[in-house]
Chain A
Amino acid sequence: MTALEGGAILPRRGGIFGALSDAFWRHPKLLVFLMLTPPVLWLGIIYLGSLLALLLQSFYSLDEFSGLVVPEFTLSTYAQLFRPSNFDIIVRTVLMAAVVTIASGVVAFPIAYMAARYAKGKWKALFYLGVMLPLWSSYLVKVYAWKLILAKEGILNWVFEGLHLTPLLDAFLAIPVIGGNSLSVSYTGTFLVFLYIWLPYMILPTQAALERVPVNLIDASGDLGATPSQTFWHVIFPLALPGLVAGSIFTFSLTLGDYIIPNIVGSSRQIIGQAVYAQQGSAGNIPLAAAFTVVPIVIMGLYLWMAKRLGAFNAL
């Protein structure tokens, strides 16, 4: 054993870092303060500040004749949201977001379950790679790729033709609202692209939640007489629910806010993101754009409140 030089108390380390270490040790709150200040400023001013500015704008209105924003408090802009043309946009968007979220959950859960319960080592790495790889390539490239896939001259039509299933596709496209001239200009197309693009955001939190379900709880459930399906519904699913809800927050809010995908793949009827884009751009109606932006925030608030009421976070 090497004996340390000197007495029982070691001398202070030299330099500015030595002095700093001692100071932080003596005043731990100082360190916390220094570390928290930049993010709090960032969040407070840039993030929440701009959100508040937006909220403020939504209480202004647009003068119909001059086209100028009138900076006076009014609820008339919000009232405009309830005009049939605008309200349709909201309903359409919420429906789209809900369907995309449910479908993502249904598709993501088995994948997440396999990855969490059965994939080990190399296979797990492959899973992460497979799920994340699409996130690393450009969003626009992927959306345009989908436009080509779904187009009338696209590979999907070609496959249907090869299988002599074209009448089936045509019958589907003939369905009002979800159909259209081709998949690339239909709501179904928009839905498929949303589903594809947001899926990783559903898989990853679900997988993380499933991974944290202790194996011995599954054993305990079986021990107490539960068949595998009972164990799934009474133990695994409730414990994975916070992960599913976290994933659904992503898929739901991302769909509520997106305007690029429906612009490239979809019908001419707008969803909220497109409406915001149009109002603040060509129409120059910033207050209405702001009011539209508040809608997803309110809906997400309601959604979380409902999820909590239904006990989605009980396992946390």
Chain B
Amino acid sequence: MTSAVSLQQVSRHFGAVRAMDSVDLEIAPGEFFAMLGPSGSGKTTCLRVIAGFEQPTSGHIEIFGETAEGVPPYRRNVNTVFQDYALFPHLNVLDNVAYSLMLRKVDKVDRHRQAEDALALVKLSGYGTRRPGQLSGGQRQRVALARAIVNRPKVLLLDEPLGALDLKLRERMQDELKSLQRSLGITFIFVTHDQGEALSMADRVAVFSDGKVMQVGTPEDIYNHPNSRFVADFVGSSNVLPPDFTAAITGQRAWASLRPEAIRITPSDGAAMQGRVVARSFMGSTVRLGLDVNGVSLHAVVPASTNTTAIGDTVGVAFAPEALHLMGREA
């Protein structure tokens, strides 16, 4: 099957800055795909290359099997929800949403009806006559979304669309985006620096660092089997263990990751591995402990109900050997 978006060895350099460096990605039709990475890792550049705002320095791009290099944005059936929404201030909400239909000379009655439908889809019926300036951040975000989907594009690009929203609203929008994507069947490519958001929403995740794709996989894959220290560090809050530490347990010298939830706290007497509690924070149902195990710092997340440790205590530290995930790459 042809990919919705296929990037083959795509690079985009700005002078000496390699914003994208030999990126290979295959994104399947109908997929909810997340690009995850810290600020400056090249996610926006990657989206802009797909949308056509940036031309790749080298490499090949296909959108549904068709070559996209050199094709201007207005000829790509790809729409973007911009990070700061980019709503037209001189048009009201309805005309913003109907903008792409107006360009295609759909007559006024028809395009306003379609725009109303799109507004209904994002639960903003009746807001058509307002100006973007009269809306809250969450509402603007929905207008931007309605404007981008009114045309039913082949691919929808979303650049940190929830970044500016407060936590409550963000969680609700996450659910709504997900169900919208399912009902429309459009390929979503979603950029975020929030690992929780990427893992909870996406079918697959690509982790970016310094313009390179470090790992592509399902959220479970990325979370449980990070292939590098960077991914382990960045995705969630894995413990990254140095080769010496790993060797003592498995006999193999390699970097390894260990999920905080995999660690159990046992009485210190007779424990094979002992550590000192150096930090403790209460998280509600769980407690997050900072441990010092022979100079290696680990953190553990344990159920609050059974934990009575205090800072300075010496405790036993245990985990199943299988929980230790050896990483191929040293990076």
| Contact status of A225 and B82, CB under 8 A, knowing A239-B89, A314-B90, A315-B89 | no
**Least Cβ–Cβ distance between B262 and chain A, in angstroms:** 42
CA distance A275 to B309 in the complex (A): 96
Stretch from A46-54, A105-113, A215-223, A291-299 forming part of the interface with B: A215-223
User: In the complex, which of the residues A214, A217, A222 contacts B74, with contact meaning CB atoms closer than 8 Å?
Assistant: A222
Smallest distance from the beta carbon of B44 to chain A beta carbons, Å?
11
Cα A234 to Cα B90 with chains together (Å): 10
B41 on the interface (CB 8 Å rule)?
Answer: no
Known contacts: A216-B82, A219-B53, A219-B82. The answer to whether A224 contacts B89 by CB under 8 A is: no
Contacts of A81 in B (CB 8 A): none
- Expressed in whole angstroms, the Cα–Cα distance for A225 and B72 within the complex equals 9
Does A282 sit within 8 A of B, measured CB to CB? no
Q: Do A226 and B72 touch across chains, with their CB atoms under 8 A apart?
A: no
The residue that A222 contacts in the complex, of B73, B90, B102, B148, with Cβ under 8 A, is: B73
Q: Mark B47-82, 1 if CB is under 8 A from A, else 0.
A: 000011100000000000000000011100011101
Asked if A230 CB lies within 8 Å of chain B CBs, one says yes
> Does A227 sit at the interface, judged by CB under 8 A?
yes
A214 to B72, CA, bound (A): 20
| Interface size of B as a range | 20 to 34
Cα-based distance from A314 to B147 in the complex (angstroms): 20
The residue from A216, A227, A234, A315 contacting B86, defined by CB atoms under 8 A apart: A216
A217 touches B86 (CB 8 A): yes
Known: A219-B53, A220-B80, A221-B99. A226 touches B86 (CB 8 A): no
CB distance from B116 to the nearest CB of A (A): 18
B103 close to A (CB within 8 Å): yes
B residues 90-116 near A (Cβ < 8 Å) are 90, 99-100, 102-104
- A225:B100 contact, CB within 8 angstroms: yes
B319 interface residue per 8 A CB criterion? no
Q: Give A110 Cβ to nearest chain B Cβ, in Å.
A: 22
A238 beta carbon closer than 8 Å to chain B: yes
Q: Answer whether residue B245 sits at the interface, using C-beta atoms and an 8 A cutoff.
A: no
Sampled A-B contacts (6; CB under 8 Å): A216-B82, A220-B82, A222-B72, A223-B73, A224-B99, A314-B90
Residues of A near any B CB (own CB < 8 A) = 214, 216-217, 219-227, 230, 234-235, 238-239, 314-315
Q: A219-B82, A220-B88 are in contact. List 12 more A-B contacts (CB 8 A).
A: A214-B86, A217-B88, A222-B53, A222-B73, A222-B74, A223-B80, A224-B99, A225-B74, A227-B74, A234-B99, A239-B90, A315-B89
